[in-house]
Structure 1
């Protein structure tokens, strides 16, 4: 079954934070910020989030916000 992409970065960040994934303190802080801030992601933020989602086998974002 294909995984549905995340509609926005906040949902993706919450999925990583609420799952049983091994995250560094830095990654946890980054994801916590993304979960509460609705502003568009920078290119660097979008890249890091995409890498974290891929690393943990989660679907990607449906669209690249603000890019």
Structure 2
């Protein structure tokens, strides 16, 4: 997933804002502004957050 795609997903999750913990919000904010590569663990967490919010199709479309 490229940085612009990841940023769009993180911002969509933050905008939706449903069921986010403070830690999840901090994580999403960080990946929305910092173009570093995600670790496998971070990638998994982003997928889990997107699935929980019903936005996993954004992540899957970017990977496929």
- The SS at the match of 1:39 is coil
Select the structure of larger CA radius of gyration.
1
Alpha-carbon distance in 2 for matches of 1:13, 1:41: 13
Choose which of 35, 38, 43 in structure 2 pairs with 1:38.
Answer: 35
Provide the TM-score with structure 1 as the length reference: 0.75
Structure 2 residues not aligned, in runs of 5+: none
Count how many residue pairs are aligned between Structure 1 and Structure 2. Answer: 58
Alpha-carbon distance in 2 for matches of 1:56, 1:19: 8
Between structures 1 and 2, the one with greater helix share = 2
In the alignment, structure 1 residue 49 sits paired with structure 2 residue 46: yes
Equivalent residue runs for 1:1-67 within 5 Å: 8-58=5-55, 59-61=57-59, 62-63=62-63
